[in-house]
């Protein structure tokens, strides 16, 4: 029988998921994948974060991940251990590259290429955060796609701001805006924070990818993440408020593309994201 989820310390459970334990052979990790008693598939952000953690474990400081490009191949099954096999593609003086294949019972479910970079100085420019965004203190306490009774079991707080109004030409600046942070501090390890940000980046990306038209309600869609990319620009903490802003770029061929950014409260752009999702309209 599946164990009921525990709301006592969801952040601790998340950190436990990122603790892969000792390797089971060279650059190979067999990770417990608990059946939490809800959902038919493993949350994609969990698999991406664990894969990044596996890749990071094979790279020495001061190298830090600066980008990842992933594909979701099959739905992960709750309760079945996940094997993460890391391939050391390249080790250079400034960059290192790793590829990770995640399998369950010898079937591939996920693969990702990751790149790590030594911190360097350079020109600093960024797209600013939108000026019309309420602060976390002014935001409402609503999450549109998560039931209220499930929220105590989540490791993060989310303050939903909703989409922006379409312009006259149909352009929508944001199909989803939400303030996010973990429910408690997790220390100062930037590698861990980037794994957690990876975990959080898949939360609601599919929702934001759908076309911003009233007739395309979420209930009419069958969706699944197809691929996922992240770029880490500047240090950012997952346990402090950041604005996750996403917009739908295209819907065509039963696929939707969302792009997003993560800005800290002071306006620093920490992360950019792109995800394509399967978005099939359910037949009546």
Enzyme catalytic residues:
202, 225, 275
User: Cα(67)–Cα(45) distance, rounded to whole angstroms?
Assistant: 15
Using CB atoms within 10 Å of the CB of residue 34, give its burial: 0 to 12 exposed, 13 to 18 middle, 19+ buried.
middle
- Residue 10 tokens read as 């969801």
- Residue 265 tokens read as 């409260």
Local structure of residue 149 (DSSP, 8 states): G
Non-local (6+) Cβ contacts of 256 within 8 A are: 206, 209, 210, 211, 223, 248, 250, 276, 277, 279
Given strand 64-72, what is the order of strands in its sheet?
A: 28-31, 82-91, 95-104, 107-117, 64-72, 221-232, 269-281, 255-264, 242-252, 176-182, 156-160
């Amino acid at each position: 029988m599946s164990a009921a989820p525990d709301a006592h310390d969801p952040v601790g459970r998340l950190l436990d998921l990122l603790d892969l334990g000792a390797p089971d052979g060279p650059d190979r990790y067999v990770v417990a994948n608990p059946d939490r008693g809800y959902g038919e598939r493993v949350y994609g952000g969990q698999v991406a974060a664990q894969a990044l953690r596996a890749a990071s474990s094979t790279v020495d400081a001061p190298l830090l991940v600066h980008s990842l490009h992933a594909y979701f191949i099959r739905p992960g099954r709750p309760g079945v251990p996940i094997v993460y096999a890391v391939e050391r593609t390249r080790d250079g003086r400034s960059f290192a590259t790793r590829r990770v294949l995640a399998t369950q019972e010898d079937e591939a479910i996920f693969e990702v290429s990751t790149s790590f970079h030594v911190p360097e100085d350079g020109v600093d420019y960024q797209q600013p955060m939108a000026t019309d965004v309420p602060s976390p203190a002014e935001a409402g306490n609503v999450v549109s796609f998560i039931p209220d009774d499930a929220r105590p079991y989540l490791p993060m707080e989310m303050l939903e701001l909703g989409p922006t109004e379409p312009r006259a030409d149909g352009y929508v600046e944001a199909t989803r805006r939400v303030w996010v942070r973990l429910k408690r501090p997790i220390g100062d390890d930037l590698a861990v924070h980037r794994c957690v940000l990876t975990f959080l980046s898949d939360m609601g990306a599919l929702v934001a990818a759908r076309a911003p038209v009233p007739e395309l309600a979420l209930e009419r869609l069958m969706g699944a993440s197809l691929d996922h990319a992240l770029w880490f620009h500047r240090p950012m903490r997952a346990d402090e408020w950041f604005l996750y802003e996403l917009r739908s770029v295209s819907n065509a061929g039963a696929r939707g593309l969302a792009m997003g950014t993560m800005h800290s409260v002071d306006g620093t752009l920490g992360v950019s994201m792109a995800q394509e999702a399967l978005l099939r309209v359910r037949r009546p």
